Amino acid sequence: MGINRRQWLSTVPLALLTSGLSVPVIAQQRDAWTLQALEFLESLDSGQRAQALFPFNSGQRRDWHYIPRQRHGVAIKALSDEQRGLLWRLMATALSKRGFAKVRDVIKTEAILADLTNNPGFRDPDNYAIVFFGDPATQQTWAWRFEGHHLALNFTVIPGKGLTLTPAFFRR
Q: Rounded to two decimals, what is the model's pTM? A: 0.82
Q: What letter would DSSP give residue 98?
A: H
Q: What is the pLDDT of residues 45-78, one digit of tens each?
A: 999 999 999 999 999 999 988 888 888 999 999 9
Which of the two residues, 139 and 105, has the higher pLDDT score?
105
Question: Taking the CA atoms of the chain, what radius of gyration do you get in angstroms?
Answer: 17
Q: What letter would DSSP give residue 136?
A: T
- Reported in sequence order, the residue ranges of the chain that DSSP labels E, i.e. its strands, are 53-54, 74-75, 129-133, 142-148, 151-158, 162-170
* Highest-confidence segment of 60-69, 127-136, 151-160: 127-136
> Do residues 142 and 136 make contact, with C-beta atoms less than 8 angstroms apart?
yes
Domain ranges of the chain: 24-170
Q: How confident is the model at residue 16 (pLDDT cuts 50, 70, 90)?
A: very low
